[in-house]
Amino acid sequence: MQITEIRIKLMEDSEDRLRAFCSITIDDSFVVRDLKIIDGSSGPFVAMPSRKLTGHCQRCNHKNHLRAAYCNHCGVKLQHDGDSYDSPQKLYADVAHPINSECRELIQNAVITEFEAELGRYQEPGYRSRYDDDFGYEDVDTSTVESPSSSRTTAPKSEGGPPRPHFIDRPERQKAGAEEDDDFGAGIF
């Protein structure tokens, strides 16, 4: 496994220990976004992307955060099965993470090295973060392919890179006179 690209977004005005967000590209094929670079007691470290854990409402079965007192959907007071949520508890779960220590060290070392280089570039005039730039979609052909789930065209095909998701080029389609789709959120999951 090779980490072929690392992008850093520095958090300048962060009051907590969060120093930056990061995305990595693995083998020019797979992107992992929202890694966090956090100031630890022995220097910066990399935290993997995570999500808040949830529990379900006993009345409407709506998802709520574990420490929520009331359901965000129906408003009923939530019962917490006798668990004490005042004690330290795991409230987040990693979305993506390395399976072994060698992989964790590889990612950690590469990200921290790039973070230090990004701090140096930040001091230069005209600095611009590349974090929000598209990954591999710069030289995209505008021919289209069919979506497997529908008959409408969804993703332009690329000659050398990955297919471009249909929601990325929406402004270009609207400029060309295409009618407005009502598919908000389509293709996200």
Region 113-120 average pLDDT? 92
Does residue 39 lie within any of the structural domains? yes
pLDDT at 156 exceeding the cut of 80:
no
Domain span at residue 36?
A: 3-49+95-122
pLDDT tier at 46, thresholds 50, 70, 90: very high
Rounded to whole angstroms, the Cα distance separating 166 from 150 reads 13
Spatial contact of 95 and 49, defined as CB atoms under 8 Å apart? yes
Does residue 189 lie within any of the structural domains? no
Does residue 129 lie within any of the structural domains? no
pLDDT at 2 exceeding the cut of 50:
yes
**87 and 65 belong to one structural domain:** yes
**86 and 150 belong to one structural domain:** no
**84 and 170 belong to one structural domain:** no
**65 and 82 belong to one structural domain:** yes
**30 and 64 belong to one structural domain:** no
Could you report the per-residue pLDDT of 56-77, keeping only the tens digit for each?
A: 888 898 888 877 889 888 988 8
Question: What is the 3 state secondary structure string of 25-48?
Answer: EECCCEEEEEEEEEEECCEEEEEC
Name residue 117's amino acid: A
> pTM for the complete prediction?
0.58
The two three-digit tokens of residue 120, written as one number = 């140096």
| DSSP label of 75 | -
Does residue 128 lie within any of the structural domains? no
Start-to-end C-alpha separation, the chain = 26
**CB neighbour list of residue 106: distance below 8 Å, 6 or more residues apart:** 1, 3, 98
CATH number of the CATH domain containing 15: 3.30.1120.40
Question: What residues form DSSP beta bridges with 166?
Answer: none
**87 and 60 belong to one structural domain:** yes
**156 and 99 belong to one structural domain:** no
Region 80-108 average pLDDT? 77
The two three-digit tokens of residue 55, written as one number = 């529990």
- Number of domains into which the chain is organized: 3
Find where tokens 């379900």 sit.
56
Nearest residue to 154 via CA among 116, 189, 183:
183
Poorest-pLDDT segment among 36-40, 73-77, 150-154, 173-177: 150-154
Question: Measuring CA to CA, how many Å separate 135 from each of 25, 45, 60, 101, 176?
Answer: 9, 24, 40, 27, 24
Could you report the per-residue pLDDT of 120-154, keeping only the tens digit for each?
A: 988 888 888 887 776 555 444 444 444 444 443 33
Question: Measuring CA to CA, how many Å separate 137 from each of 28, 49, 59, 128, 158?
Answer: 12, 23, 45, 19, 8
Nearest residue to 20 via CA among 46, 51, 52, 40:
46
What average pLDDT does the structure give for the chain?
75
